[in-house]
Amino acid sequence: MTITVLFISFFVFMLLGVPIAISLGLSTLLTMVFATNLPLGSIITQSFTSLDSFSLLAIPLFILAGVLMSQGGVSKRLLKLADVLVGYLVGGLAHGTILASMLFAAISGSGPATVAAIGSFMVPSMANKGYDKSFAAAVTAVAGTIGVIIPPSIPFIMFGIAGQVSIGGLFLAGIIPGIIIGLALMIVSYVIAKKRNFPTEGKFPTFMEVVKAINYAKWALLIPVIILGGIYSGLFSPTESAAVACMYAAFIGLFVYRELNFKKLYKVFLEATLVAVPVNIIIGFSISFAYLLSIERIPAKIATFITGISENLFITMLIISAFLFVVGMFIDTIPAIVILTPILLPVAQGVGMDPIHFGVIMIVNLAIGYVTPPLGVNLFVASHISKVSIERITVASIPFIIAMIVVVIILILIPQLSLFIPSVAL
């Protein structure tokens, strides 16, 4: 009874377009009033204590760092470097977009922000050079998913908080999978560009050209070194590294690149906070919801159900991945993580999976959700930038999505791809 009220009311509110955070709170409240005699005041205390977390502070700070970077002139320097390194290949601009997204991902923790930062330059220039515009938009949208896989990553922070898994470990685990996804997308772009005869220009770079491009982008390239180096060496916690990255980015933008000023900073702070707050408020109401789930033993029941089908780790993970793929089509990444981590993580651990490995699989799966309709945030941003309809971008994205699914399977089969770097560092 309790669970029926909880789930049905949650889905009804969610479908009506009530913000997810509020849907969680309302369904919890309804269930408590009509199906249990738990004290209602706990919703209030949970909405405070669940947010009282030092790790959670990393989210607004990393979002701020990302906005500071993109407003401060970092993206165009990364694009220049990417173009010199891979621009001479068949479909060079597509490779440049993917590589630049990977570099930007090492600075930003958000998928849509990566699409916006890279796409606003690359979609027009691909279109000018005779690339199919829907292909250009699709490459940008899909490459943006790497934004949440290569650290820093807001979804990894969320997973770490929801599942009590080391955020630093998750960050380090995301590096190799992020690079593999980038390579997979480049292979697909290469094949498509060859088949459809997209123009190739630029020549193999000389050593001096590479050095010059690296020099041009050097201050931007130092950011991932600071963030990852700080976490890797144990010098900073992820939250502290985010603050250091912000200070560094503000300094570079103000005094080195001189593309920021104090008036612009005000807008940057405002914009970053308005992106971070809706993400965090979900946590405020999710804990009471999760509490109701746990007293009804829902995670245990789902675990029994899935392990009833098969106790094999690979098959269990395939079932979970298929489920996450479908969830990702309809629900945004952050709420999906907050709601599902307490349910799915015990299942994965039950079949002997490392929590960090599971985190990587879960985030990659949900990242695919950024480019699957009807709710695919990267598609929205790419469509907004390119003025190509979401339907056409989706069709052009299909080969890339298939490549990402193949990568998911490889990542499940070879845990070392995720676990090697954290095992060396931590």
Partner 1 sequence: MKILNVLRKFEEIVIVGSMVVILLLIFGQALFRYFLGSGLVWGEELARYVHIAQIWLASSLAIKTGGHIRVTFFRDLFNTNGRRIIDLVATLSFFVLMVFVAVKGTEFIFHLIETGQRAPSMGILMAIPYTVVPLGAMLMLIRLIQQFRSVLKGEILDEGIEGVDK
Chain residues 279-338 in contact with partner 1, contact rule CB under 8 A: 279-282, 284, 330-332, 334-335
Chain residues 251-270 in contact with partner 1, contact rule CB under 8 A: 266, 269-270
Options 50-58, 87-95, 201-209, 212-220: segment touching partner 1 (CB under 8 A): 50-58
For the bound state, the minimum distance from the C-beta of residue 191 to partner 1, rounded and expressed in Å, comes to 30
For the bound state, the minimum distance from the C-beta of residue 115 to partner 1, rounded and expressed in Å, comes to 7
H/E element, 128: helix 111-128
* Residue from the set 3, 22, 343, 405 that interacts with partner 1 by CB under 8 A: 22
Nearer to partner 1, 2 or 53 (CB): 53
Chain residues 333-372 in contact with partner 1, contact rule CB under 8 A: 334-335
For the bound state, the minimum distance from the C-beta of residue 155 to partner 1, rounded and expressed in Å, comes to 13
Nearer to partner 1, 69 or 421 (CB): 69
Per-residue binding letters, 367-406, with partner 1 (x by CB under 8 A)? -------xx-x--xx--xx---------------------
Nearer to partner 1, 61 or 320 (CB): 61
The Cα 209–Cα 217 span in angstroms is 12
* Residue from the set 84, 113, 188, 351 that interacts with partner 1 by CB under 8 A: 113
Chain residues 203-242 in contact with partner 1, contact rule CB under 8 A: 235-236, 239-242
How many Cα atoms within 13 Å fall on the side-chain side of residue 297? 4
The answer to whether residue 56 forms part of the interface with partner 1 (CB under 8 A) is yes
The Cα 108–Cα 100 span in angstroms is 12
Could you tell me what percentage of the chain is helix, strand and coil, using 3-state DSSP and rounding each to the nearest 5?
Answer: 80, 0, 20
The Cα 82–Cα 106 span in angstroms is 14
* Residue from the set 4, 45, 164, 310 that interacts with partner 1 by CB under 8 A: 45
Closest CA to 64 of 121, 116, 109, 112: 109
Yes or no: say if 377 and 387 are a contact pair by the CB < 8 Å rule.
no
Nearer to partner 1, 61 or 408 (CB): 61
The answer to whether residue 244 forms part of the interface with partner 1 (CB under 8 A) is yes
* Burial (0-12, 13-18, 19+ Cβ within 10 Å), 67: buried
Which two tokens mark 335?
Answer: 């709420």
* Burial (0-12, 13-18, 19+ Cβ within 10 Å), 341: buried
Which residues in 193-227 are b (16+ Cβ under 10 Å) and which e? beeeebebeeeebeeeeeeebeebbebbbebbebb
